[in-house]
């Protein structure tokens, strides 16, 4: 059952369920999601496309009637087993990033970030149908609805027909420093002709130091490294490069100590228009989270802190740029906090809506421990919790992306087949 509990006038919208590529456990379909406009990308790093755990990324397109269809299946040109292609995904306009990621940096071949672009020769229109079954439109909802049966699974035959359809792999970005700074492709972000990739590493360690790499697209279509950002000049402790986000001429990179006794920090960089170099404009300290999820949107930075609050109930803090300083303007918490509730596990902000993942039951209970997505809305300058998205599954909210007023939410685990939902919020 999918519930949208909260104010009725804010709950109205449509809910969709994406068909999973198969019913196999461990495919990790939905462990990574991204949405921009009418394109959505779902990572499935455990999908056996060309071998065990070779991975795949599934591209969906929204038609004029607001239905979603599976449009393409992306695989890398060097598809190999155990490369976990689809571990992280990003989309912006007609460009998609997909990362292959193995956690060990001590390997013969580096992790890779693959750049795909729309095939200008392709002339397809999802409104006229596709080789995969459409995602059925659901009725409008008020306070809550029960989920109708999901559409039929896309067959393996259909999937094979969709491999690479409409998209071309343009390049593979590899670690420019061959592991010197840490595990490449730990986090990725895409904005227009700029890519941010981190290599997570600890500057206090003897081997890795952590870095953020900025790549720029040149006029000839090649991608070149334009900046290498490290934690050494920041004097940050912990693992630099755990998470990142990029928006225009601004980016943010986190550094986690993985210890409650040593809170993490976030560095915010701005691109100097004169020198064309990235400068640290501010830092945010005392971030109580191991994985430090963050969402950067213009002059707003939303930070999830799943270990913060009384008895680690969690929180999310919103920082906004005011007079050249990043100031705390709002602190989000659930209307009914739970001890060890992991609120702030993932966050995403778009305009006057913010989404925060957390649990709605105490973790010490042995049953009914469900993860949900809390919806916050800004009205007349004040943020308030308006909805709770809940499908009654502890793995719901394993991935999250938000664009304009459409959210895409992954549900992925090692023990069950993956699932992905989208929710469209109407204007109140």
Q: Which of 348, 337, 290 minimizes the C-alpha distance to 314?
A: 337
Least reliable range by pLDDT among 20-24, 359-363, 402-406: 359-363
* pLDDT of the residue at 237: 80
- How confident is the model at residue 187, as a pLDDT? 98
Instruction: Say what the pTM is.
Output: 0.89
Mean pLDDT, range 96-103, rounded to an integer: 93
Cβ contact 105:179 at 8 Å: yes
Count of CA atoms in the C-beta half-sphere (13 A) of 397: 28
Out of 115-129, 293-307, 315-329, which region has the weakest mean confidence (pLDDT)?
A: 115-129
Position 9 scores a pLDDT of 40
- Among the ranges 46-50, 128-132, 343-347, 389-393, which has the highest mean pLDDT value? 343-347
Closest CA to 56 of 35, 82, 84, 36: 84
In the structure, what pLDDT confidence band is assigned to residue 264 with cuts at 50, 70 and 90?
very high
Joined together, the tokens standing for residue 265 give 């920090």
pLDDT surpasses 60 at 13: no
Statement: residue 3 has pLDDT above 70: no
The phi-psi region of residue 317 (left if phi > 0; otherwise alpha if psi is between -120 and 50; otherwise beta) is: beta
Are 307 and 289 within 8 A, CB to CB? yes
CB 85 within 8 A of CB 76: yes
Residues 141 and 10 sit within 8 Å (Cβ to Cβ): no
Q: Which of 142-151, 283-292, 398-407 has the lowest mean pLDDT?
A: 142-151
What are the residue ranges spanned by the domains of the chain?
1-174+392-428, 177-291
User: Cα(103)–Cα(105) distance, rounded to whole angstroms?
Assistant: 6
Q: pLDDT-derived band of residue 428, with 50, 70 and 90 as boundaries?
A: low
The answer on pLDDT for 136 being more than 50 is no
Give the 3-state DSSP-derived string for the chain, with helices as H, strands as E and coil as C: CCEEEECHHHHCEEEEEECCCCCCCCCCEEEEEEEECCEEEEEECCCCCCCCCCEEEEEEEECCCCCEEEEEEECCCCCCCCCCEEEEEEEECCEEEEEECCCCCCCCCCCEEEEEEECCCCCCCHHHCCCCCEECCCCCCCCECCCCCCCCCCCHHHHHHHECCCEEEEEEEECCCCCCCCEEEEEEEEECCEEEEEEEECCCCCCCCCEEEEEEECCCCCEEEEEEEECCCCCCCCEEEEEEEEECCEEEEEEECCECCECEEEEEEEECCCCCCEEEEEEEEEECCCCCCEEEECCEEEEEECCCCHHHCEEEEEEEEECCEEEEEEEECCCCCCCCCCECCCEEEECCEEEEEEECCCCCCCCCCCEEEEEEEEECCEEEEEEEEECCCCCEEEEEEEECCEEEEEECCCCCCCEEEEEEECCC
Pairwise CA distance, residues 236 & 234, whole Å: 5
Which tokens belong to 62? 């929204």
Query: How far is 67 from 89, CA to CA, in rounded Å?
Result: 22
Q: Which of 391, 398, 387, 309 is nearest to 354 (CA)?
A: 387
Residue 149 confidence (pLDDT):
37
Question: Is the pLDDT confidence value at 21 over 90?
Answer: no
The rounded distance, in Å, linking the Cα atoms of 229 and 207 is 17
Contact 315, 331 (CB under 8 A): yes
40-44, 65-69, 109-113: which range is least confident on average? 65-69
N- to C-terminal Cα distance for the chain? 24
Question: Is a pLDDT exceeding 90 seen at residue 147?
Answer: no
Mean pLDDT of the chain: 85
Q: Which residue has the tokens 């402790």?
A: 237
Q: Is the separation of the CB atoms in 403 and 420 below 8 Å?
A: no
Query: What local confidence, expressed as pLDDT, does residue 123 receive?
Result: 55
Instruction: Phi first, then psi: give them for residue 133, nearest 5 degrees.
Output: -65, 140
Q: Is the pLDDT of residue 60 over 80?
A: yes
345-387 residue pLDDT tens? 999 999 999 999 998 765 555 555 789 999 999 999 999 999 8
Rounded Cα–Cα distance for residues 106 and 101 (Å): 12
Question: What gap in Å lies between CA 188 and CA 213, rounded to an integer?
Answer: 10
Handedness of CA 97, 101, 103, 107 (dihedral sign): negative
Rounded to an integer, the average pLDDT of 157-173 is 89
Percent of the chain with pLDDT over 90: 61
State residue 160's pLDDT score.
81
Most confident by average pLDDT, 127-136, 138-147, 302-311: 302-311
In angstroms, the Cα distances linking 153 to 27, 32, 250, 286, 419 are 14, 19, 40, 45, 11
pLDDT given for residue 137 in this prediction: 33
Q: What is the pLDDT of residue 129?
A: 41
- For 177-227, the pLDDT digits (tens) are 998 899 999 999 999 999 999 999 886 765 678 999 999 999 999 999 999
- Residue pair 53/83 in contact (Cβ under 8 Å)? The answer is yes
pLDDT at 11 over 80: no
């Amino acid at each position: 059952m999918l519930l949208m509990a909260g104010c009725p006038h804010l709950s109205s919208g449509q809910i969709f369920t994406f068909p999973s590529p198969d019913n196999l456990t461990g495919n990790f379909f939905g462990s990574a999601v991204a949405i921009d406009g009418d394109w959505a990308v779902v990572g499935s790093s455990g999908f056996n496309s060309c071998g065990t755990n070779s991975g795949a990324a599934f591209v969906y397109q929204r038609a004029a009637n607001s239905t979603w269809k599976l449009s393409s299946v992306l695989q890398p040109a060097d598809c190999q087993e155990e490369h976990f292609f689809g571990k992280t995904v990003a989309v912006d306009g007609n460009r998609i990033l997909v990362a292959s990621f193995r956690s060990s940096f001590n390997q013969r071949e580096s992790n890779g970030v693959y750049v795909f672009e729309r095939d200008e020769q392709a002339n397809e229109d999802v409104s006229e149908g596709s080789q995969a079954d459409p995602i059925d439109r659901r009725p409008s909802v008020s306070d809550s609805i029960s989920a109708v049966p999901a559409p039929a699974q896309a067959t393996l035959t259909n999937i094979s027909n969709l491999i690479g359809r409409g998209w071309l792999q343009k390049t593979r970005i590899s670690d420019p420093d061959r592991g010197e700074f840490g595990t490449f492709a730990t986090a990725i972000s895409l904005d227009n002709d700029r890519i941010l990739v981190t290599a997570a590493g600890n500057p206090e360690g003897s081997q890795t130091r952590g870095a953020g790499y900025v790549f720029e697209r040149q006029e000839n279509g090649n991608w070149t490294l334009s900046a290498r950002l490290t934690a050494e000049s920041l004097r940050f402790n912990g693992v630099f490069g755990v998470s990142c986000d990029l928006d225009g001429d601004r980016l943010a990179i986190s550094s986690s100590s993985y210890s409650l006794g040593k809170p993490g920090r976030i560095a915010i960089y701005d691109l100097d228009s004169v020198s064309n170099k990235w400068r640290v404009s501010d830092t945010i300290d005392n971030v109580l989270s191991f994985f430090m999820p963050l969402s950067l949107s213009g002059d707003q930075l939303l930070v999830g802190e799943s270990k913060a609050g009384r008895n680690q109930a969690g929180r999310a803090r919103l920082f906004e740029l005011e007079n050249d300083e990043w100031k705390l303007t709002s602190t989000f918490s659930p209307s009914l906090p739970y001890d060890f509730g992991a609120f702030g596990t993932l966050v995403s902000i778009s305009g006057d809506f913010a989404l925060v993942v957390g649990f709605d039951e105490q973790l010490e209970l042995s049953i009914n421990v469900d993860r949900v997505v809390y919806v916050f809305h800004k009205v007349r300058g004040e943020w308030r919790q308006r909805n709770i998205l809940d499908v009654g599954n502890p793995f719901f909210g394993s991935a999250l992306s938000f664009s304009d007023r459409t959210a895409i939410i992954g549900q992925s685990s090692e023990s069950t087949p993956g699932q992905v939902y989208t929710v469209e919020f109407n204007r109140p």
